[in-house]
Amino acid sequence: MTEKQEKILHAALELFAREGFKTTSTSKVAKHAGVSEGLIFRHFGSKDGLLEAILKEGEERIKVIFSDIIFESDAQALVLKTLDAFNPRNMRDEELEFWKLQYKIKWELEQYGEHKMEPLRLALTNAFEKLGYRNPGQEAIRMLIELDGMATRYFLMENFDYESLITFLKEKYTK
Amino acid sequence: MTEKQEKILHAALELFAREGFKTTSTSKVAKHAGVSEGLIFRHFGSKDGLLEAILKEGEERIKVIFSDIIFESDAQALVLKTLDAFNPRNMRDEELEFWKLQYKIKWELEQYGEHKMEPLRLALTNAFEKLGYRNPGQEAIRMLIELDGMATRYFLMENFDYESLITFLKEKYTK
DNA sequence: TATCTTTGCAAGTGATTACTCACTTTTAGA
DNA sequence: TCTAAAAGTGAGTAATCACTTGCAAAGATA
């Protein structure tokens, strides 16, 4: 990958996450990346192609993070690890941008990236089963919903107290 | 309000909810409403003005729905009523469209409509306190998050089983 | 050094954007 | 019935959109 190619990807991720995909023009991306607009189309073919490249790169990163959780053998630890993995305080800037993009895209393109979360959902279901919960499957979905909700609030609400809610949930899930 | 004015509002709500605010052109709204494009600007001043009018109308409707919950004196009933109020099966088409718009707008304009949910949050906090929960405030937030998450999944996931999750949660919140 | 491919740029393309303006029709009050 | 305001239209506006094209510079291979 060329240096300018990476600059385009980086600039696009930042702008798409901040201002949305459809509402960010390719000329803006080019300007922000310090590159001619035509180069975007040379390398990525189309604006959609650019988005695809960003999402593909990000998915690889997600897999790495998830694999650390999924292969945890202790059920209780797995549940707590999941809660920690989504704590924005544990993320680098670029990771945060990528997550935000996921949520924005979800509503802009109206497609929930189910398959991405599927391995985590299964691992959580398994963990809750080991821990003796009555409805492990539903518990897993519930927890994923809670993580979604916290992320949403973290990104969109100014005065959201992420830390104390996660402490509250950790307590709930340890007994 | 004129007949055409209402037609514009209705068409705009439908299109904004389906395809987003910024990505829906005023010409499309006009065409869908069977009205000249200029009329939109005559009545609502700008595209933003049109959105404001839609949101204002919707907020009135939200208040009505919420007041039925909030003034419920029985704490347990209030909690269950809340879960039912957000069940898409209990909603008319236009109500559903309005809720979907809320979620889309949230991410498009990056502003969480906190104040809208505030009365419900307080009522839930109060209810959980009456029911003897250890952290009533956090429980209320948790429940609002769960409702958000379920709505998101209802709107964006094809095979999401809303009904069984809400049954699961009702069970959780009755004991 | 000669040749071919990749990388890059600047100046375009037609289509679409939110919005305006000059104008006509409808409505309401005296 | 007369008149002024409100409602409504349709053709315009400059700006911006995603994308293309022609051509130069840079790298790689021989």
Which among A138, A150, A164 has CB closest to B165? Answer: A138
Note the pLDDT of residue A114. Answer: 86
Look at phi and psi of residue B35 and say left if phi exceeds 0, alpha if psi is from -120 to 50, else beta: beta
Measured in whole angstroms, the distance separating CA B134 from the mean position of its chain's CA atoms is 29
Stretch A158-167: mean pLDDT, rounded? 94
pTM: 0.94
- Is the CB of residue A39 less than 8 Å from the CB of residue A8? yes
In sequence order, the 6+-apart residues with CB closer than 8 A to the CB of B72 are B78, B81
Structure confidence at residue B175 (pLDDT): 78
Report the alpha-carbon distance of residue B152 to residue B170 in Å, rounded.
19
Assess whether pLDDT exceeds 90 at residue A131.
Answer: yes
Has residue B166 got a pLDDT over 90? yes
Helix (H), strand (E) counts: chain A: 9, 0
Q: Give the CA A1 to C1' C13 distance in Å.
A: 30
Please write the tens of the pLDDT for every residue from B113-143. Answer: 889 999 999 999 999 999 999 999 999 999 9
Question: At A1, is the pLDDT very low, low, confident or very high (cuts 50, 70, 90)?
Answer: confident
Residue (of B97, B101, B95, B105) closest to B66 by Cα position: B95
Contact B131, B123 (CB under 8 A): no
- Please give the angle made by the CA atoms of B6, B7 and B10, to the nearest 5 degrees: 85
Q: What percent of chain B has pLDDT over 90?
A: 92
- The tally of CA atoms less than 13 A away on the side-chain side of residue B106 is 24
pLDDT at A113: 85
Query: Cα–Cα distance between B171 and B175 in angstroms, integer?
Result: 8
Contact B141 A111 (CB under 8 A): no
Over residues B132-157, the mean pLDDT reads 97
Q: Which residues from B are below 8 Å from A22, CB to CB?
A: 20, 22-23
Q: Closest to B145 (Cβ–Cβ): which among A141, A150, A156?
A: A150
In this predicted structure, what is the pLDDT of residue B167? 96
pLDDT attached to residue B147? 96
Q: Are A51 and A21 in contact (CB under 8 A)?
A: yes
Residue A13 has pLDDT above 90, yes or no: yes
The integer distance in angstroms from the CA atom of A61 to the C1' atom of D26 is 33
Task: Considering all nucleic acid strands, name the nucleotide whose C1' atom is nearest to the C-alpha of residue B47.
Answer: C18
pLDDT at A124 over 90: yes
More confident residue, A41 or A61: A41
User: Looking at CA atoms only, how far is residue B6 from chain A in angstroms?
Assistant: 26
* Cα distances (angstroms) measured from residue A46 to each of A19, A27, A41, A50, A51: 19, 12, 5, 6, 9
**Quick one: B68 exposed, middle or buried, by C-beta within 10 A (0-12, 13-18, 19+)?**
exposed
Tell me whether residues A23 and B108 touch, CB distance under 8 A.
yes
pLDDT band at B75 (very low <50, low <70, confident <90, very high): very high
Closest by CA to A120, choosing from A99, A94, A141, is: A141
Indicate which of B83, B97, B108 best probes the interface with A, i.e. most A CBs within 10 Å of its own CB: B108
Q: For tokens 């996450």, what's the residue? A: A17
**3-state secondary structure string, B37-95?**
HHHHHHHHCCHHHHHHHHHHHHHHHHHHHHHHHHCCCCHHHHHHHHHHHCCHHHCCHHH
Q: How confident is the model at residue A20 (pLDDT cuts 50, 70, 90)?
A: very high
End-to-end CA distance of chain B: 49
Res. B26: pLDDT tops 90: yes
Instruction: Give the pLDDT of residue A46.
Output: 98
And the tokens for A105?
């895209």
Output the average pLDDT for chain B. Answer: 96
What is the average pLDDT across A105-111? Answer: 94
The stretch B5-13 carries a mean pLDDT of 98
